[in-house]
Amino acid sequence: MSKLIDTEKAILMESIRDIHDFPKPGIVFKDITTLLNNPKAFRILMNHLTNRYLNYDLDFIAGIDARGFIFGAALADRLGIGFVPVRKKGKLPYTTVAEKYTLEYGFDEVEVHIDAFGKNGLCPTGERSKVLLVDDLIATGGTAKAAANLIEKVGARCVECCFIMELMFLGGREGFESEVYSVLEI
C-alpha cells in the first residue's frame, strides 16, 4: 500500500492555505484551492491516491458535494471507473434516496440517484458494487457518515472513506462502519 514520504506530506501541507476566522471567528478554514492550483502538489496527491486504490477492485468512487467532486472525479478517471456525486438535497434531477444527518443547529440531507451504483447497488456481475467515498476534509464526520450510510442504503458497499485532511482533535472518524483513511492528519 502506498505511503507518502515526509517531503511529500510537507509539500501537500504547505500547499493548503489557512484562512483564520472563516466562516466565523475562531475557525481556521483549510483552503484547498491553493493545492488545486499547485500542479506539483496535486500530482503528488493524485499519484498517491491512485497507487493506494489501484488494487482495491473498486466499481465506483463517490465524492461528497462539492470538494469531494474534484478529487473523486480525478481519481475515478485515473482508475477507469465511474464517479457518483453525493449531493445536497434537491440538486439531483432523477429519483433519489436521501440520508439525514445532524448539524450543530438542526439537520441537513445528502442524496444520490437511486440507481447511482447500478440497479439495487449491484454491478453487472450481480455482486454489490464496491465504492470508495472521497472528500477533502473530515471534521466531526456527520456528512461523511451520512454519505457512507447512503451508499449502503442503495445496496452498494462502502469499502473505505478517504479524506485529504483529518482534523484529529474533533474525533470525526469514530463510528464509521467502513475503514477510514486520511492522507494528512492535523
pLDDT at 124: 87
- 5 alpha carbon, distance to own chain's centre: 22
- Rounded to an integer, the average pLDDT of 88-100 is 95
- 78 alpha carbon, distance to own chain's centre: 16
Pairing of strands 82-88, 157-166: unpaired
**14 has pLDDT over 70:** yes
Hey, what's the cell of 132?
Answer: 470508495
Q: What sign does the CA torsion over 46, 165, 4, 42 have?
A: positive
The yes-or-no answer on residue 166 being catalytic is no
Q: Where are the domains of the chain?
A: 57-185
**105 has pLDDT over 80:** no
**185 has pLDDT over 80:** yes
Q: Which of 8, 67, 109, 152 is catalytic?
A: 67
In this prediction, residue 20 has a pLDDT band, given cuts at 50, 70 and 90, of very high
Q: Could you give phi then psi for residue 142, rounded to 5 degrees? A: -60, -50
* Domain 57-185: assigned CATH number: 3.40.50.2020
pLDDT at 157: 98
| Cα separation, 185 vs 112, whole angstroms | 28
pLDDT at 104: 67
pLDDT at 1: 59
Q: Residue 158 contacts by C-beta under 8 Å, 6 or more apart in sequence? A: 62, 131, 132, 133, 148, 151, 152, 177, 178
Q: Where are the alpha helices (DSSP H) in 15-123?
A: 33-36, 39-53, 67-79
Tell me the average pLDDT of the chain. 95
- Rounded to an integer, the average pLDDT of 101-125 is 90
| Cα separation, 13 vs 165, whole angstroms | 9
CA dihedral 157, 113, 50, 176 (to 10 degrees): -40
**7 has pLDDT over 80:** yes
The yes-or-no answer on residue 67 being catalytic is yes
Could you tell me the pTM of the whole model?
0.95
- Rounded to an integer, the average pLDDT of 32-46 is 97
Is the Cβ–Cβ distance between 134 and 71 less than 8 Å? yes
**82 has pLDDT over 70:** yes
**145 has pLDDT over 80:** yes
**179 has pLDDT over 90:** yes
Q: Which of 8, 43, 87, 104 is catalytic?
A: 104
Least confident of 14-18, 30-34, 102-106, 140-144: 102-106
SS3 of 117-178: CEHHHECCCCCECEEEEEEEEECCCHHHHHHHHHHHHCCCEEEEEEEEEECHHHCCCCCCCC
